[in-house]
Amino acid sequence: MSEFIAKPNSFALFKNNRKEKDTHPDYVGDFTNDKGEKFRLAAWVRETNGGNKFFSGMVSEFKTKEQLAEEAGNSQPKVAEKTEDVDDLPF
């Protein structure tokens, strides 16, 4: 995505250069409302039976690359906290 930063309550969509499947959006962008809440925008180019083209879209919570990786299970495993020594067990 571009370095474009939209003003609050406005957005821009950019062609999705990472589209690999038909289910991936054709255009993506970000939206920040006047409260500072950030959202992800996704849009697909559709066509009616009559041949008219239009956008259909989805708004979702904005997530960083790190958050997405963690949800996908690709994050570094967390180191387990130290537990009691096994030598102290009575058997």
Confidence of residue 28 (pLDDT cuts 50, 70, 90): very high
Q: What is the pLDDT of residues 47-89, one digit of tens each?
A: 999 999 999 999 999 888 888 888 888 655 555 555 555 555 5
The answer to whether 57 touches 40, Cβ cutoff 8 Å, is no
Phi and psi at 55, nearest 5°, equal -100, 140
Give which of 6, 21, 19 is closest to 62, Cα–Cα.
6
Which amino acid does the sequence have at 17? N
In this prediction the pTM is: 0.67
**C-alpha pair distances (Å), 46 with each of 18, 22, 85:** 19, 12, 62
